Chains A and B, each alone.
Chain A
Amino acid sequence: MTVPNSNPLIETKELVKKFGSFTALNGVSLKVYPGEVHALLGDNGAGKSTLIKALSGVHQPTSGKILVEGKETKFNSPRDASEVGIGTVYQDLALNSLTSVTRNFFLGRELKFGNGPFGILKMKKMHNIAIEEMAKIGIKIEDPEQPVGTMSGGQRQTLAIARAIYFGAKVLILDEPTSALGQKQQMEVLKTIKKVQQLGNIAIILITHNEIHARLIADRYTFISLGEVIGSGSSKDLEGDDIRRLMAGGAEVGDLAKELA
């Protein structure tokens, strides 16, 4: 589902990030469109994490540009990034297992009567919003008072995604959302991502190791190896073998087969 006529929501141009003498990113260019799932694939240490940390404001790039909706933007902190609408869902999901769904959904941004941190919470309203927002991307929660610790991994992922979207994420960065989950829950998360994609106005950057998952939902791929983009394209252009080859950092799987033989 490509939207060729629209402009990219977020774009990087020749992004370079150096940690001392180590070059983590060496000129990465990337375009992500609304309503698209953009899979970011690559081996461990390829620079995926550095890239998303640059996009979510944790790291400041050494050189290169980040454009959000065509405007050049500089992030000094994760807060800056989330203010322009970049929501990152990290692997640990930033959830407190001991408190309820609603309290997690609104953590740090609670709705309340009156100003100041001693404002009384609008619990009912927050319950309703939490249930509604999670239902929008496909998970029905019966009891918003349920502690997050009693939810399944997939439900937790949905909660974190719904929260990011509700608080204005236009670009959703998902860091390995399917790792550490069971087979069934992985499918659940993929369905959730599909639902977000269908909302149409949100660009999703999906970091994954799993080629099968990428093939199932991604519209566009970017492969990163040793800090550089070694290939990209839409799902139509790429064959399964290409993907597998590029994921392994460009090495021919055939070569590996020979070596193993």
Chain B
Amino acid sequence: MSSSENSRKESDRHNPKSSLISLISRPEIGPIGVMILLFGMLGYFSIPASETTWNPFAGEGFNALGIRNNLRVISQLGIIALGAGLLIIAGEFDLSIGSMIGFAGACMAMTLRWGFSIVLPYISFDGGTHLEFYTLLHIPNVTPTLAIFITLCFTLTFGWVQGFIIVRSGLPSFIVTLGGLFFLRGLTEVSLRSFNHRPDQAKGATTVTEIPDIKNIINLPGYGEMEREAAKYLPETDLISIVKNLPSDVIAKISERLEYTAQRVAEAKTDLLIAKGVKPLEKALENAIASDNEFMIKTIQEKIENFKIDPVIPKSITEVDIARAYIDTIGSARPIADFFGGNILETIFDWLYFPIDWNVNNFGNQFAPGLYSCVMIWVILSLVCYIVLSKTQVGNWIYSTGGNLSAAQANGVPTNKVKISLFMFSAFCATLFATCQVFEVNTSDAAKGNLKELEAIAAAVIGGIVMTGGFGTVLGIIVGAFIFGLAKEAFFYIPGIDGSFYRVFLGFVIIASALLNENIRKRIMGNI
């Protein structure tokens, strides 16, 4: 053996990579590329047809309302994709997420609407044999916190049961959670129908409506708790007396803002009137040019040039307006409902309207009030998941449970507990999704969350999660949710393209990402 052969070690074959190479060979790089491509598409294609300048932020997809709506879709998907993704990393998957969303939403809405009771059924023989119910406990007015807690008790139990069956029986999670999918959806519909027999609900409907707008209940000084809308339409004398009690600097601030809005609205109205007046003239001009009537062309051109309209006078600000604007600024008296269903970053979006002069709709009003709360919940959940998966002991357990189950067991990892906890976590994510939805829209429907389980799995796969387990990152899941949500929205902003093309596109992306993931996995698995 020559010395040169001797000095070469096995470790020399593993070339340390430069930081740039290791950055671009990260598994998330492909999905991030697709995400940037989609951003570009959304920007480019959403430019109005008449515009000739290339400005990606001029499109409708990137105005304030577009950002608000897109981020809502993305973050809702992101929340359940985290649950689905972590479970796939541990080698199992959950098809019951969508039904769990429907179930959790219905459970929460029903407790908010009708209260919560525990009843014992028994057979009564008085006046013929029939079933009677003994009420053990009845809570008529359920607070949002209690509703969330009750719902979590149910959903986490379902998650635990599914996980328990899977780890104890060794059945594939596909079958067990498929059972869960049908079971939960059916249970939701059955319970909604059986509860909807009150005179105030359509019998047999699978929806819950007329839940008060809980997140907008405010504590108006001197009037107690009431809904914001009801407060705004108090008798005008009451409203004026509210203003009288306000400090003068608050009044000055509110009236400055209202004057700005009134000015913007007036300008928008003027523009609208001009457009309305000029449009018929322009049409006539076209006709005149077509018929080559020089005299007509000249007169119409003159008319257009001299077209004038009196600018709309801004609406004057009354004390009632100030009172209503003040009511809008009062914080919610139900912080938990507001946390899940309210808006975030309201100050920033306010600032973007006044004084930045963006975030304005066609009628001169503020366009988007802020981002949906579910964005914040997604961000918090992602951070927690990131820390847990890559920085804690549990993270290592999750990876090893999915990567090599027998190795994990041989090293004392409680793999069954890991799996059951992750089934419960995916149920928890579905509950979060439903909570945000219920408190946003104040209704619930048995069909909510339909097919969401597949969307969540798709987002996870696009983000680089390998279906066989053991491989993937939280950053990947986040990017996957971005891609899925953006594609879903972006195609609707492209004029002249059928919106359903987003499914064609996603189908392609899913298969491409799965191939890519498999390739990366094989490269890492080496010769095993």
Q: List 8 A-B contacts (CB under 8 A).
A: A94-B404, A96-B400, A96-B404, A99-B399, A109-B412, A141-B11, A150-B524, A155-B11
Q: Find chain A residues with CB under 8 A from B525 CB.
A: 97-98, 149
- B residues neighboring A (CB under 8 Å): 9-11, 13-14, 16, 387-388, 391-397, 399-400, 403-404, 406-408, 410-413, 470-471, 521, 524-528
Measured CA separation A142–B391 after assembly (Å): 22
| Majority DSSP secondary structure for residues of B touching A | helix
Expressed in whole angstroms, the minimum distance between the Cβ of B263 and any Cβ of chain A is 54
Measured CA separation A106–B412 after assembly (Å): 11
Q: Find chain A residues with CB under 8 A from B396 CB.
A: 99, 103, 106-107, 110, 121
Measured CA separation A108–B418 after assembly (Å): 12
Cβ 8 A contact of B407, one of A94, A120, A121, A140: A94
| Interface flags, A50-76, vs B, CB<8A=1, else 0 | 000000000000000000000000000
Cβ 8 A contact of A139, one of B11, B392, B403, B406: B11
Are A109 and B411 in contact, with the CB atoms below 8 A?
A: yes
Measured CA separation A101–B219 after assembly (Å): 58
A117-B392, A149-B524, A149-B526 given as contacts; is B14 within 8 A of A143 (CB)?
yes
Expressed in whole angstroms, the minimum distance between the Cβ of B1 and any Cβ of chain A is 11
Are B399 and A94 in contact, with the CB atoms below 8 A?
A: no
User: Within residues 75 to 114 of chain A, which ones have a CB less than 8 A from any CB in chain B?
Assistant: 78-79, 90, 92-99, 103-104, 106-110, 112
Minimal Cβ-Cβ distance residue in B for A93:
B407
A109-B411, A120-B391 given as contacts; is B16 within 8 A of A99 (CB)?
no
Are A150 and B14 in contact, with the CB atoms below 8 A?
A: yes
Minimal Cβ-Cβ distance residue in A for B10:
A152
Measured CA separation A93–B526 after assembly (Å): 16
Cβ 8 A contact of A96, one of B10, B387, B392, B470: B470
A110-B393, A112-B392, A117-B393 given as contacts; is B403 within 8 A of A96 (CB)?
yes
- A residues neighboring B (CB under 8 Å): 78-79, 90, 92-99, 103-104, 106-110, 112, 117-121, 123, 139-143, 146-147, 149-155, 188
Are B524 and A142 in contact, with the CB atoms below 8 A?
A: no
Q: Find chain A residues with CB under 8 A from B391 CB.
A: 120-121, 123
Measured CA separation A176–B363 after assembly (Å): 79
Expressed in whole angstroms, the minimum distance between the Cβ of A248 and any Cβ of chain B is 32
Are B11 and A118 in contact, with the CB atoms below 8 A?
A: no
Q: Which of A94, A103, A153 has the most CB of B within 10 A?
A: A94
Minimal Cβ-Cβ distance residue in A for B12:
A142
4 smallest A-B Cβ distances: which pairs?
A108-B411, A96-B403, A94-B410, A94-B407
